[in-house]
A and B are shown apart, each in its own frame.
Chain A
Amino acid sequence: MDESLYLAAFIAVSAVATFLTRATPFLFLSRHSNHPFILHLGRYLPAAVMCLLVVIFLLRSAQWQAPLFGADAVLPSALVILLQLWRHNALLSIVAGTLTYMGIQQI
């Protein structure tokens, strides 16, 4: 597929998917919002998705062979977790973790 056509289609697809998630309750959930399975998914699916995203992208960002054994990504991740638990400031945790990771990768 042509490069700029792919980009345009990509943006359109992302925009439609994002809008659909926001419009869903207004379109049909107003009547089924109390179905226990919807509530179950609504409660637990976001947590599962966040966790699987962390695992997938963390596995791709580290060097798992000797001598690092993943420490190049695991240490910044630990920093993010500690900062988030301590200060509850998402931006601070993200920026500090990312700068640490960048520092390690650029040595």
Chain B
Amino acid sequence: MTALSIFRLTLPVLFGYVPLGMAFGVLFTSQLDYSWWVAPVMGIVIFAGAGQILAVSLLAAKAELMAVFIAMLALNSRHVFYGLSLLGHFSGAGWRKLYLVFGLTDETYSLLTSRHRSSDREEEQRTDALITLFNQAYWVLGCGLGAWLGSTVKFDSTGIEFALVALFLVLAIEQYRAIRRQLPFWVGAAGAGLAVTLLPQAHQLIGAILVATLALLINYRLTTTRRLETGDRPHG
């Protein structure tokens, strides 16, 4: 693939990443006192949309590093399952594989898994890496532009942190569309309710995640035992 056709393929990601990256950048400079260029640096070394937006509120709360680590793992846990469908395509990619795995965002994943492939694996892996690189360039551009604008143009940004709630609402709706089961949502809501009632603010996120994971483990245990007892086939 030529650079031009890769640009054309990644154009929808450009339109998605630049505004979203700018939203992150504005959020970063309006909520925190750090220099604006830290925002694009985060785009370079972390490269995660929801993760970086969550990072702003964790930074503002001066969260413990252990909490940051667990929160990031949990928020990005969906990525664990992206790689499974790309194991074959990425195998034998050598040094490129590191970058391909690093840059496996939601958008990169959907481009890489939906595009047409020839039998020349090395050539296709080169294309995969370029697609990832183009996407990351748009993201870093958005982060930098938003942070720079946010630090130079003065405007009342009170309430902009709601972008985080809106993002999670959208992701939750998309999750429901994908799995069509209510249980995990009740599990999440109950875990959050419990954590908010019992724990101080700094530990609520980890508390809720642990409760939810535990509840899903119990749910898994119960459904498998029932299946063993009744000899039922697993469904849905």
Contact = CB atoms under 8 A, between A and B. Distances in A.
A15 B212 contact: no
Given A14-B46, A48-B216, A52-B212, A98 B166 contact: yes
Q: Which of B59, B167, B213 has the most CB of A within 10 A?
A: B167
Contacts of B170: 80, 84, 90, 93-94
Given A46-B78, A53-B75, A59-B196, A102 B46 contact: no
B159 A98 contact: yes
Given A43-B179, A84-B170, A52 B192 contact: yes
Nearest to A96: B166
B163 A13 contact: no
Interface in B153-182: 156-176, 179, 181
B29 to A, nearest CB: 14
Nearest to B213: A45
Nearest to B70: A17
Contact of A102 (B58, B160, B179): B160
Interface residues of B, number: 89
B51 to A, nearest CB: 5
Interface in A67-96: 73, 76-77, 80-81, 84-85, 90-91, 93-95
Chain B: interface secondary structure?
helix
B193 A47 contact: no
B213 A22 contact: no
Contacts of A36: 220, 224, 234
B213 A41 contact: yes
Contacts of B77: 21, 41-42, 45-46, 49
B138 to A, nearest CB: 14
A106 B51 contact: no
B165 A61 contact: yes
Interface string A17-36: 11111111110011001001
Given A23-B101, A44-B183, A55-B189, 5 more contacts: A15-B46, A50-B175, A51-B189, A51-B192, A61-B162
27 contacts: A7-B34, A13-B68, A14-B48, A17-B73, A19-B102, A21-B72, A22-B102, A36-B224, A41-B220, A44-B179, A44-B183, A45-B184, A45-B213, A45-B216, A48-B187, A48-B215, A52-B192, A52-B195, A53-B205, A56-B192, A56-B204, A77-B165, A81-B169, A93-B170, A97-B169, A98-B160, A105-B159
Interface of B: 16, 19-20, 23, 34, 38, 41-42, 45-48, 51-52, 54-55, 57-59, 62, 65, 68-69, 72-84, 87, 90, 97, 101-102, 104, 156-176, 179, 181, 183-185, 187-189, 191-193, 195-196, 204-205, 208-209, 212-213, 215-217, 219-220, 224, 234
Interface of A: 6-7, 9-26, 29-30, 33, 36-37, 40-59, 61, 73, 76-77, 80-81, 84-85, 90-91, 93-95, 97-98, 101-106
Lowest 3 CB-CB distances: which A-B pairs, in order? A51-B188, A25-B83, A17-B72
